[in-house]
Chains A and B, each alone.
Chain A
Amino acid sequence: MTFKKFVLTSLLATAQLVWVMPVYAVPSFARQTGMACEACHTIYPQLTHFGRLFKANGYTLDNMQGTVHDISTDNKETLSLTGTPPISLMVQASETWLNKSLPDSTGSNGNAQNGTVAFPQQISLFYSGKIAPHLGAFIQLTYGNDSGQVGIDNTELRYANSIVTPNEQALIYGVSVNNNPTMQDLWNSTPAFGFPYAASNANVSPLAATQIDGTLGQDVAGMSVYALWRESWYGELGIYRSAKQGATNSTTGAAGPLDGSHSNVISGAAPYYRLAYEHQWGRSSLEVGLYGANFKLYPGGSTIDAPMSLTGPANEFNDFAQDFQYEFVDDRHIFTLSGTRIHESIKLNASLADGSKNDLTTSRLWGSYYYKRKIGGTVGYFSTTGSTNSSLYSVETTSGVVTSVNGSPDTKGWIAELNYIPWLNTKLALQYTAYNKFNGSSSNYDGFGRNASANNTLYLLLWVAY
């Protein structure tokens, strides 16, 4: 593998890891507020209008008795602890079948087993709720069967407060410190909490994803300030810095600083912005918005043989996205329709000598229906297309599968999911993903005879949270 390819491969590897990140509803919120899941969720993790407000208010609304207090000598409150810590547990167990089994990675002629059991696929521990007046947290530790380790997952600390104008209109404002751009967002049309809410980790992930689409999740730390005016206008501005987990400085062995041995390190701070408007009428609400970020990433990832420092030109990823979400919520029928389109213009100033310009566009559209919060499902369309670039997408492999023979990132397909919700904190899902195109073409996309449809995935999931 050439050095340049190494750099690009590692760049893409991160993208693959986070193609779909599962997201959650948290029973400790219900315990804290004394309200049932349906106050905040249509079906978890999709938020209702009140759920969005609860989040904007910093997860601080609470109904806990037995709070521990402390006051100073001048009678000022110095501590206010809830009697029970807001802790929840989430378990996912699943089985995944691919349409066509994968080649055996030992290089022998056989195939890998088809049908991957994941028990658990994931176990998460949440600390989600109020920490102090106006301060709340959503902290998630996850054990994943793929890593076989416990690691930090979506995490956020939030400060929120509100101002009421003399004519009784509210401005809610706050600060979020979080580790995944868009996880702080209030709508489910943005990447971090969008559909599919849970997906197989034993599937084949397409090569290309934009940076804001989960690629940098848990790899960055950001701080943003936001304001919500009259529950309808929402604006947010923030910055993100690289904050790698499990990365040490090889000279000192300490937790930092980052240097050329780390890949895709943000140069300085990456700006993030979000603007949205939500209109409510009857049982409906409609949100339209835009969001984006500009990431300058040093490819890094160098070795002694091929040194590369965190200086000089950086690869630039400019993400600009639109989204919308329609929600109809009633006791019997719940219907949602959401979509987003992310356009990323890429200038590989550091990785490719000609600083070649590329672009990537991801579009998703999905609609859900639930009857009495018991049974329902979602159908979604997804598409990622972009400029052909063989040095980006034609990854050298021995058995294909995760490469693109024609150097195109194009991937398109459908997801259909059926859900049965016997209790509001238990979800059974059967999900089918069908690819019309995968890594650039519908047939023989990898040059080893594998067709896009070979990666079609059937996924059975049991998802509980308590």
Chain B
Amino acid sequence: MKTNATIFSVAILMLLNINIAHAETINAHKTALQVAASTCSACHGEQGRSISPIFPNLAGQTATYLADQLKSFKSHTRADPDAVAYMWGIAGQLNDDLIQTLADYYSAQRPVTKSVADLAVVSRGEQIYINGVIADGVPPCATCHGPHGAGTDIFPRLAGQHAQYTLKQLNVIKNNLRNSAVMRNAILGLKENDMTAVAQYLQSMGM
């Protein structure tokens, strides 16, 4: 069984190698990059531009917001079903340094530019975004999320985000599954079809 013996010695050599490699101190940025490119990317896409609308784009998102969200997944205060199923486990593995480095990394990436959207509702969505819905007590989204939806600091970027994800989050926030009183008050009066319209508009926005 010469070959079996070879297989074994190679396996053992590999084991030794792993320990040595692991023991080397790798700088935080490199670790973050490795985590981002080999783990987060499986869902959020290369450099945070996700392919499937189940998973939000992270590219170009504000760093403060990203770090906040990762911490709230970790502390289980963001508790909608997909957060529980996917992100609680992921965020639980990240320490505060890694969270910050990942947040900085993703915020520095080129955001997604989306153009395909349901044109029938985009103009309604734009109206809501710029002017709000006075009758329903909904303030203009732009006041907090910025005129181009690029976000700033604690106010997340919305432009270019998948409509399916945005719509899901609007409901999640409305149902108080995210610890976010400011945003919840802003959209409590927003009707379902207006949510769809604004989500489509945001997907069509790009810059």
Q: Is the CB of A35 within 8 A of B86?
A: yes
Contact B42 A241 (CB under 8 A): no
Which B residue sits closest to A133, measured CB to CB?
Answer: B22
Q: Are B51 and A168 in contact (CB under 8 A)?
A: no
What chain B residues lie within 8 Å of A34 (beta carbons)? 88-90, 92-93
Residues on A with beta carbons closer than 8 Å to the beta carbon of B42: 49-50, 52-54, 231
User: Which of B9-17, B140-148, B194-202 lines the interface with chain A?
Assistant: B9-17
Contact of A223 with B89 at beta-carbon distance under 8 Å, contacts A256-B1, A257-B1 already known:
no
Residues on the B chain within 8 Å of A61, using CB:
39, 93
Contacts of B183 in A (CB 8 A): none
Is B43 at the interface (CB under 8 A from chain A)? yes
Q: Known contacts A36-B86, A164-B37; can you find 16 more A-B pairs with CB under 8 A?
A: A34-B89, A34-B90, A35-B88, A39-B86, A76-B19, A77-B19, A132-B18, A133-B22, A159-B11, A159-B14, A168-B47, A175-B14, A231-B41, A231-B46, A241-B4, A329-B52
Could you give, for residues 17-53 of chain B, a 1 whenever the CB lies within 8 Å of some chain A CB and a 0 otherwise? Answer: 0111111000000000110111101110011000111
Of A15-23, A278-286, A411-419, the one touching chain B: A278-286
Interface residues of A (CB under 8 A from B): 33-36, 38-39, 49-50, 52-54, 57, 61-63, 75-78, 80, 132-135, 157, 159, 161-162, 164, 168-170, 172, 175, 177, 221, 223, 230-231, 239, 241, 243, 256-257, 269, 280-283, 329-331
Contact with A39, one of B3, B10, B23, B89 (Cβ below 8 angstroms): B89
Give CA–CA (A288, B199) in the complex, Å. Answer: 34
Task: Tell me, rounded to whole Å, the shortest Cβ–Cβ distance linking B36 to chain A.
Answer: 8
Inter-chain CA distance A39–B23, complex, in Å, is: 30
Counting CB contacts under 8 A, is B85 at the interface?
Answer: yes
| Listed residue (A50, A157, A329) with the most chain B CB atoms within 10 angstroms of its CB | A50
Pair B19/A36 contact, Cβ less than 8 Å: no
A170 touching B38 by the CB < 8 A rule?
Answer: yes
Can you identify 23 A-B contacts, CB atoms within 8 angstroms? A33-B89, A34-B88, A34-B90, A34-B93, A35-B90, A39-B89, A50-B43, A53-B39, A54-B42, A133-B19, A159-B14, A162-B34, A162-B37, A164-B34, A164-B38, A168-B33, A169-B46, A172-B38, A241-B4, A243-B4, A282-B53, A283-B54, A330-B54
Minimum distance in angstroms from B131 CB to a CB of chain A: 31
Q: Is B119 an interface residue (CB 8 A)?
A: no
Say whether A162 contacts B38, CB under 8 Å: yes
Nearest CB of B to A172, in Å: 6
Contact A35 B85 (CB under 8 A): yes
- Contact partner of B52 (CB less than 8 A), chosen from A57, A221, A280, is A280
Q: Which A residues are in CB contact (< 8 Å) with B47?
A: 168
Q: Are B93 and A62 in contact (CB under 8 A)?
A: yes
B37 touches A53 (CB 8 A): no
The answer to whether B89 touches A282 (Cβ under 8 A) is: no
B51 partner, pick from A78, A162, A243, A282, beta carbons under 8 A: A282
A33 to chain B, nearest CB (A): 5
Residue of B4, B20, B42, B93 with highest tally of chain A CB at under 10 A: B42
Please indicate the chain A residues that have their CB under 8 angstroms from the CB of B154 in the complex.
none
B-side contacts of A57, CB under 8 Å? 38-39
Q: Are B93 and A78 in contact (CB under 8 A)?
A: no
Query: Does B207 count as interface, using CB distance less than 8 angstroms?
Result: no
Q: DSSP majority for the A interface?
A: mixed
Contact among B11, B22, B52, B89 with A77 in the assembled complex (CB-CB below 8 Å): B22
Q: How far is the CA of A221 from the CA of B33 in the complex (A)?
A: 35
Specify which chain B residues have a CB less than 8 angstroms from the CB of A162 in the assembled complex.
34, 37-38
Are A133 and B86 interface neighbours, CB within 8 A?
A: no
**Closest chain B residue to A30 by CB distance?**
B89
Asked whether A283 lies within 8 Å of B52 as measured between CB atoms, the reply is yes
For window 56-107 of B, CB contacts with A under 8 Å fall at 82, 84-86, 88-90, 92-93
Query: Smallest Cβ distance from A183 to chain B, in angstroms?
Result: 16
CB distance from A19 to the nearest CB of B (A): 28
CB pair A230 B46 closer than 8 Å: yes
Cα of A221 to Cα of B7 in the assembled complex, Å: 9
Contacts of A241 in B (CB 8 A): 1, 3-4
Instruction: Say whether B54 contacts A157, CB under 8 Å.
Output: no
Residue of B nearest to A243 (CB): B4
- CB of B85 within 8 A of CB of A159, answer no
Residues of A contacting B92 in the complex (Cβ-Cβ under 8 angstroms): 34, 63
Bound CA span A269–B38, Å: 32
Tell me whether B89 and A177 are in contact (CB under 8 A): no
Closest to B33 in A: A164
Closest A residue to B38 by beta carbon equals A162
Q: Please report the C-alpha to C-alpha distance between residue A282 and residue B164 in the assembled complex, in whole angstroms.
A: 11
Q: Within the assembled complex, what's the spacing in Å between the Cα atoms of A331 and B46?
A: 22
When the two chains form their complex, are residues B89 and A134 in contact, meaning their CB atoms are under 8 A apart? no
CB-based contact B51/A134 at 8 Å: no
- Tell me, in angstroms, the Cα distance from A77 to B36 when the chains sit together: 24
Q: Are B51 and A281 in contact (CB under 8 A)?
A: yes
Cβ contacts under 8 Å, A231 to chain B: 41-42, 46
Of all chain A residues, the one with the shortest Cβ separation from B55 is A50
For A282, what are the chain B residues with a Cβ–Cβ distance below 8 Å?
Answer: 51-53
Docked Cα-Cα span, A330 to B55, in Å, equals 10
Leading 6 A-B pairs by shortest Cβ distance:
A34-B89, A76-B23, A35-B89, A36-B85, A53-B42, A170-B37
Contact of B86 with A331 in the complex, beta carbons under 8 Å? no
- Do B86 and A135 touch (CB < 8 A)? no
| Residue of A62, A132, A280, A331 touching B19 (CB-CB under 8 A) | A132
Query: What chain A residues lie within 8 Å of B20 (beta carbons)?
Result: 76
